[in-house]
């Protein structure tokens, strides 16, 4: 893997360019009681966690795909490709609308069930997002032109 400092810097660039926003005006939930308040707090925490996981997984996948395409090991990827890889991650998230999968289309933040008795909130699994990411090729035609400058011939 890339050194932690370099990987962290790339992840921070992505977080700056793909901001995490929490819609506090969730129409389907009101803070009428303690259960709803706890559910909203849990939704916020889960959504932040999923957002970070999504960005981390997207960056790791992009780095691996670039390494595979260029025939360069991950440890040897040149720093000149960092900005290209950050751009690839942002484009992948935007074009495939991956952040909307973090929040359910109905604004319920992917809640599967909400019970009031013991304050139980069940969220849908992350597998749908990860399956979608696995099938996405982050390398576009424009990226190929850049990556070809660094590509090594495999013997």
The answer to whether residue 146 sits within a structural domain is no
Query: What is the structure's pLDDT at 107?
Result: 46
**C-alpha closest to that of 80 among 93, 68, 70:** 70
DSSP run (H or E) holding 60: helix 34-70
Query: What is the structure's pLDDT at 106?
Result: 46
pTM: 0.73
The answer to whether residue 141 sits within a structural domain is no
> Which has the higher per-residue pLDDT, 41 or 65?
65
> Which has the higher per-residue pLDDT, 137 or 46?
137
Residue 27 binned pLDDT confidence (cut-offs 50, 70, 90):
very low
Question: What is the average pLDDT value for the chain, to the nearest integer?
Answer: 80
Residue 121 binned pLDDT confidence (cut-offs 50, 70, 90):
low
Q: Is the pLDDT of residue 39 over 70?
A: yes
The answer to whether residue 88 sits within a structural domain is yes
Q: Provide the number of structural domains found in the chain.
A: 1
The answer to whether residue 80 sits within a structural domain is yes
Query: What is the structure's pLDDT at 108?
Result: 45
**pLDDT (tens digit, 9 = 90+) per residue, 76-92?**
999 999 999 999 999 99
Dist. CA 106–CA 110, nearest whole Å:
8
The answer to whether residue 142 sits within a structural domain is no
Domain span at residue 120 reads 4-19+31-132
The answer to whether residue 155 sits within a structural domain is no
Q: How does strand 111-115 pair with strand 120-123?
A: antiparallel
């Amino acid at each position: 893997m890339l050194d932690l400092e370099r990987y962290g810097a790339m992840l921070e660039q992505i977080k700056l360019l793909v901001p995490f926003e929490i819609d506090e005006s969730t129409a389907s939930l009101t803070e009428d009681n303690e259960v709803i308040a706890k559910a909203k707090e849990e939704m916020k925490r889960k959504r932040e966690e999923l957002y970070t996981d999504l960005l981390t997984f997207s960056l790791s996948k992009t780095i691996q795909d670039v390494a595979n395409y260029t025939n360069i090991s991950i440890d040897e990827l040149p720093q000149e490709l960092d900005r290209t890889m950050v751009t690839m991650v942002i484009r992948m998230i935007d074009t495939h609308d991956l952040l909307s999968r973090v929040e359910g289309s109905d604004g319920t933040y992917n809640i599967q069930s909400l019970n009031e008795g013991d304050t139980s909130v069940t969220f849908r699994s992350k597998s749908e997002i990860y399956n979608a990411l696995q099938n996405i090729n982050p390398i576009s035609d424009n990226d190929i032109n850049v990556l070809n400058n660094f590509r090594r011939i495999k013997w």
